[in-house]
Amino acid sequence: SPVKNGWVSPGKFQKAAHTEVPIWPRLPIPDGQDYAEAADYGAKIRAELASDNPALLVLERQFDTQSVDPMALEPECGLGWYDSTGKSLALVLGVQSPYEAADSVAFLLGEADPKFRPAHIDMNFASCGGGFGGRDHTPFPLYVALAAMVFPDRPVRLANNRFEQFQSGIKRHAFKMKTRIGIDRATGKIVGFAADHALDGGGLANFSAQVATVGANAALGVYYAPKVDVTTFSFHSRGVTAGSMRCYGTVQTMTALEVLVDEICATLPLDPIEFRRRNALQAGWRTMAGNPYLTSIRTPEILDKLEQHPIWRDRAEEKARAASGVLIGTGVACVNKNYGTGADCTLGSVQIDEDGKITIQCDAAEMGNGIGTAVANRAAAYLGGVADEVSVAQIDAFGPLGLVTSGDPFAISQETQDAEAQNPRWVPAISTATAASNGSHVGTHAAAEAARVIFRFGLWPAALALWGLAPTDLTALEWEKARWKDGHLVMTGLAPLPLAAVAAKAHAQRGVVAAMAHGFNRWSWAQATFGIEGEPWTADIDALAVRRAGGEFVCLDRSYVMFPPSDYERIGRSYSALCGTTVRVTIERATGALRIAKAYSVLECGQALVPEIVLGQAQGGFAMGVGYALLETLPLYEDGPGNGKWNLGQYLVARGSDLPLHDLEIEILPPVDASERPKGIAEVVMIPVVPALLNAIFDATGRRFQSLPVTQAMLKEAVREAPK
C-alpha cells in the first residue's frame, strides 16, 4: 500500500498520439524494483478479475467526463499601481491563495534588472466573486503585476471579459476511466477493484498531478475492497490549461463508480441501498491507501436516511403513476470526500478590548464560503461574543510570530524536518490556499486556538477575580467546564458574568487579551507546548504569540513540537465527510426534456459553524452537479474556449428552470457529539448529484450513459428505445 511502501511510478513512457503514456506492465529491467513489486500485485489482482469464475460477477466499463469551466460570477480581475519614484508596487487581487500569489509575484520580479525591480510590493486581497478552485494557483496575478510595471505611475485595471475568461481561465480536467469490479455473487461483497485513469491537463502543468492522485484515491468511494489496483496519469495537450476545480478528480471517478455500482445492483440483483450497506468502509478499516480515517464514518446513517425518504421509498408507486408520454425514474448515490490537501496551514489573530469588542484576522480567503462568519462563530465559543470586526486574506498581519520555512512540505524528508524543527520559528509552510474544502476545518482553526488562549489566560482569571475566587481554588482548574450563554459566562453554582465585565477585568489585571497562532496539518495537526503564566500549554498549533493588556505581542518559544511525520504524505486522505442524494426525474417521450421533480440530499459536516452557509453550499453544489451532469461541456481543442469565441450563449449552465427550486430538500445531520470538529463539505455536496441523476435516467429509460453530459438530444434518442 502507499502508506506502507510509498507511491510508485513506472518511470518509463512510450509515444502515443500527441503525448506520452506510462508503461504500466512490469518491464524486464533491473531498475525500478519498488514499482515492479506493485506492478506484480496489480497484475495478480487484474488476473483474478479476468478469470472465468462463475462465483463472481465482474463488470468493466469505460466512463468519460468532459472539460468544463468554473464559471465564477466574476471573471478574474485586478488593480495595480507602480510608483517608479519610490519603487513601490501596489496590487489589489481576488484569489483563493493570497500567500502563494504574493510569493509568485515576488519570485517573478525578484530577479529583474535593478532599474526595474520593485523595492516594495504591497499586496491587497479582496473577496472573490466566486472561486470554485479556478482562483487557486492562477497565473492571473502575474499578469496584473506585469501590467502595472509596464505602465508605471498610473492606475492599471486588468479584467477579463467573459470571452477572455473562457479562453484563459483554468478548466476542469476531462477524464477517461476504465473501471473493473468483482463481486461475490453469494454475499454481494466487493472482492476486487481495478481502475485506469487518464487526465487531459491542457497546455500547462497547473495542478494536474494533484488532481490525478486525489481522483485515484477517491476511486473506491465509500466502499471497502480487499484488493485494489489503480493507475492514473495526466498528460499534456494543446487544450486550455486544466487545474483545480471544485471536487477535482473526485466528481469524475466517483461518478464512474456510483453509476457502475447501480449497474451491479441491477445485474445481481440487489437493492442499491443494501449493496452499499454491505460494502461500506467501516470505522477503523483501512482505505485503499492503507490508513484508517481519523473522523467519524457515518455511512450507515446516511444510507438509512436515503432509504427512508419518500423519494426513494415510493419510487415504484411513482413510476407506476406516470402520465402518458412521460417516463419517471429515481436514482440514488452516496459518496465521501476528503477535505484538506495534506499540507494545510492556518494563521489567526484574535484580540478583545476592555469593552468586549472582538477583532479577528486570518489568512483564509472569502469567495462566498462565509469564512469570515465561520471564524467569528468558532472563536465565539471561547470568547462569548461574535467578532465585531473580521479581516480575511491577511498575509502580513502575523509578523510577531517570526515564522520561517524552507523546502516543500509535501516532499520534505523526516531527517530534514527534524533538523529544521530545532528552530522554534520554523514551520513546514506558512500559509496555504483556501481550497479543498478546508475553510471550516483549517481556515478557522488558528483563530479558534488563539481565542482559547485568551479565555484561559485572560478571561478566566478575570472571571475568578469577579467571583472572588483565588487562583488556588479548585474551581480554577475547571475552566473547561465553563460555558457562554447569551453573552454571559456560566459556571455551576456561580453568578453569570457579562462578557463586557469579564473583558474589562482582564484588561485591568493586565491579562492576556490578544493572541495569534499558526497551525500546520499533514492529515493530522502539528502539536506544540508553550509556557504561559508558568504553566505548560499544549495545543494543536506550532507557533504562538500573546499580548497582555497595554503591552506588545511577545512570541513564545515552544518547548516541544511534534509535526506530523513526513511520510504522512503517503496517506491518501484521513479526513472525510459524506453526502447522499436521491432524485426523481421525469422525461418527456416526445422531446427528451428532463425535469427534476424532487430531490433530497443528506450530509454530515461535524459542527456546523454557520448552518445557513452549509445549506447554501449544498444548494449551490446541487446546481453545479446538475450542470455537470446534463448541460455543461467544452470542446477540448480547436473548437473549444481557447479560440476566444465562447460565452454563455454556447456554454449552458444550470438555470432556475433546470432545478427543483421548491422541491429540493437538504438535511444536515447533527454532530456525533459536542466535541466533534467542523468538517469540510463544500465539495462533497456536489458529487452524488451527478451519478444520482444518471441512475435516475437509467431507471426511467433503461439506457445507461457512460459519458457526460447527458443532453436533451441524447435523452430524446434514448426514450425512443424505452419500453412503452
Residue 564 shares a structural domain with residue 594: no
Mean of the per-residue pLDDT values of the chain:
96
Residue 454 shares a structural domain with residue 586: no
Residue 227 shares a structural domain with residue 308: yes
Confidence of residue 434 (pLDDT cuts 50, 70, 90): very high
Whether 582 maps to a domain, the answer reads yes
* Cell numbers 455500482: residue: 261
CA-CA distances (angstroms) from residue 456 to 26, 401, 453, 481, 516?
Answer: 59, 20, 5, 12, 14
Which of 159, 182, 204 is the C-terminal boundary of a domain? Answer: 159
Whether 164 maps to a domain, the answer reads no
pLDDT of residue 89: 98
Is residue 720 pLDDT above 90, yes or no? no
Whether 541 maps to a domain, the answer reads yes
Report the distance separating Cα 166 and Cα 71, nearest Å.
8
Residue 611 shares a structural domain with residue 701: yes
Rounded mean pLDDT, 400-405: 98
User: What is the SS3 string spanning 432-498?
Assistant: CCCCCCCHHHHHCHHHHHHHHHHHHHHHHHHHHHHHCCCCCCHHHHHHHHCEEECCEEECCCCCCEE
Whether 709 maps to a domain, the answer reads yes
pLDDT of residue 33: 83
Crossing angle of helices 250-267/272-279, nearest 10°?
120
Cell numbers placing 1: 500500500
Rounded mean pLDDT, 26-37: 85
Report the distance separating Cα 381 and Cα 437, nearest Å.
22
pLDDT of residue 500: 98
Confirm if 200 and 242 have CB atoms less than 8 A apart. Answer: yes
Percent residues over pLDDT 90 in the chain: 94
Residue 271 shares a structural domain with residue 351: no
Which of 537, 570, 603 is the C-terminal boundary of a domain? Answer: 570
DSSP of 559-570? EEEEPPPGGGGG
* Cell numbers 477493484: residue: 193
Residue 176 shares a structural domain with residue 261: yes
Residue 333 shares a structural domain with residue 349: no
Rounded mean pLDDT, 595-614: 98
CATH number at residue 520: 3.30.365.10
pLDDT of residue 265: 99
pLDDT of residue 67: 98
Residue 523 shares a structural domain with residue 383: yes
Is residue 716 pLDDT above 90, yes or no? yes
Residue 406 shares a structural domain with residue 515: yes
Confidence of residue 599 (pLDDT cuts 50, 70, 90): very high
pLDDT in tens, 237-275: 999 999 999 999 999 999 999 999 999 999 999 999 999
Crossing angle of helices 98-110/140-150, nearest 10°?
40
Report the distance separating Cα 614 and Cα 670, nearest Å.
12
Whether 72 maps to a domain, the answer reads no
Query: Nearest to residue 265, comparing CAs of 257, 318, 177?
Result: 257
Domains in the chain: how many in total?
3
Whether 313 maps to a domain, the answer reads yes
Whether 165 maps to a domain, the answer reads no
Confirm if 450 and 515 have CB atoms less than 8 A apart. Answer: yes
Is residue 84 pLDDT above 80, yes or no? yes
User: What is the SS3 string spanning 232-284?
Assistant: EEEECCCCCCECCCCCCCHHHHHHHHHHHHHHHHHHCCCCHHHHHHHHECCCC
Residue 372 shares a structural domain with residue 501: yes
pLDDT of residue 723: 76
Whether 166 maps to a domain, the answer reads no
Which of 102, 137, 159 is the C-terminal boundary of a domain? Answer: 159
pLDDT in tens, 649-668: 999 999 999 999 999 999 99
Confirm if 226 and 49 have CB atoms less than 8 A apart. Answer: no
Confidence of residue 34 (pLDDT cuts 50, 70, 90): confident
Confirm if 659 and 693 have CB atoms less than 8 A apart. Answer: no
Residue 99 structural domain: 77-159
Note the Cα 436 to chain centre separation in Å: 2
Confidence of residue 175 (pLDDT cuts 50, 70, 90): very high
Residue 336 shares a structural domain with residue 437: no
